[in-house]
Structure 1
Amino acid sequence: MINITRTDSNNPDFQKLTNKLDIELCRIYNTQPKDYEEYNRITDLGTVVLVYFNSDPIACGCFKKLDETTVELKRMYVDSAFRGRGIGSTMVKELENWAMGLGSKAVVLETGKKQPEAIAMYRKLGYHNISGYSKDTETDNSVCMKKTF
């Protein structure tokens, strides 16, 4: 059974899953965790979603406020054994609903060019490409996207 839980960044399951995410991103982009550590560090964030299969954590994501009306999706990860089942889409929708409930009007995100499945999922959910929305998102490997509610 799949369960979705709202929590915070201190949750040990979130930390476990983001460690797996870091390992996967390093494999995809041939980098080291320290190369992006300052950009990927999430602390004291109260807007984290975890997905469990039975009692096992299998997916995570979160958002942080960029301004009064916009949030940024961060640290999106679904365990490879559970991909292709709609879990990522369900998690994004949960995060969007949470953000809208807090008054947000738009969501932005950055993903990588070597993650075509993620890009396709976001497009299917109504996101469109935009230029980098911060100095940290203007890289050759990045794809930035936005959805307005």
Structure 2
Amino acid sequence: MPITVTVEPPRASGVEALLQLSDDYAFSLYPAESCYLLDVSELEKPGVTVFVGRDAGGRALGIAALVVKSDGAAELKRMFVHEDSRGQGLASALLTAVEQAASANGVTLLQLETGPLQHAAIALYERRGYARIPNFGDYVGDPYSVCYSKTLTPQLV
């Protein structure tokens, strides 16, 4: 099944439904205070880019967001693939798009937070060269947070 990954507004067709499924999934695994989910209005802020994976029919199957910080770093947020589309390489395609966009914007460090029960996500990040780091920012002290980072080579044009 051909998948395309493009930058889209967070209110584009099907994206809010994916965000809701992502919320439901996170809240089924972790306490609410350990779910650091950006809502649609936060995804619309400057410095945030939303990537959407769609099938040939235009159905939104996966999302990821890049949040660029002022210190040259960025954070991967809201990475989620619809349950019936997992195992087909979409998460990897989304991650590639995020990394390329981050590099193109001069980002040298890409960080992320996930949960210890998200084994497939952790395996993906580790395969892609992300290293486990101490929890940063809001995640410090949260036993339900696992943080990773990857050094990127900026591709400024």
> What TM-score do you get using the length of structure 1 for normalisation?
0.89
Which residue of structure 2 lines up, in the alignment, with residue 11 of structure 1? 12
Does the 8 A contact of 1:47 with 1:64 survive in 2?
yes
* Alignment root-mean-square deviation, CA: 1.8
Take 1:69 and 1:107, find their aligned partners in 2: how far apart are those partners? 9
Deviations 1:96-117 (CA, angstroms, capped at 9, x unpaired): 1011111111100000001011
Take 2:90 and 2:27, find their aligned partners in 1: how far apart are those partners? 23
Gaps of 5+ in 2: 153-157
Amino acid at match of 2:24: I
* Large movers: runs of 4+ above 3 Å: 35-39
Which residue of structure 2 lines up, in the alignment, with residue 84 of structure 1? 87
Q: Which moved more, 1:100-109 or 1:39-48?
A: 39-48
Identity %: 26
Tell me how far 1:7 sits from its aligned partner. 1.6
Amino acid at match of 1:25: A
Which residue of structure 1 lines up, in the alignment, with residue 102 of structure 2? 99
- Partner residue of 2:55 out of 53, 57, 60: 53
Look up the SS of the partner of 1:113 in the other structure.
coil
Amino acid at match of 1:97: Q
Deviations 1:25-50 (CA, angstroms, capped at 9, x unpaired): 11122x45xx4677533332441100
- Partner residue of 1:132 out of 120, 131, 135: 135
Amino acid at match of 1:40: L
Deviations 1:3-31 (CA, angstroms, capped at 9, x unpaired): 111123332432221111000111122x4
Look up the SS of the partner of 2:135 in the other structure.
coil
Take 1:81 and 1:39, find their aligned partners in 2: how far apart are those partners? 22
Does the 8 A contact of 1:10 with 1:43 survive in 2?
no
Amino acid at match of 2:145: S
Amino acid at match of 1:103: G
Q: Which moved more, 1:103-112 or 1:40-49?
A: 40-49
Amino acid at match of 2:52: L
Q: Does 1:142 align with 2:145?
A: yes
Amino acid at match of 1:52: R
Take 1:38 and 1:28, find their aligned partners in 2: how far apart are those partners? 13
Take 2:122 and 2:139, find their aligned partners in 1: how far apart are those partners? 15
Take 1:67 and 1:90, find their aligned partners in 2: how far apart are those partners? 26
Which residue of structure 2 lines up, in the alignment, with residue 114 of structure 1? 117
Count how many residue pairs are aligned between Structure 1 and Structure 2: 145
Which residue of structure 2 lines up, in the alignment, with residue 71 of structure 1? 74
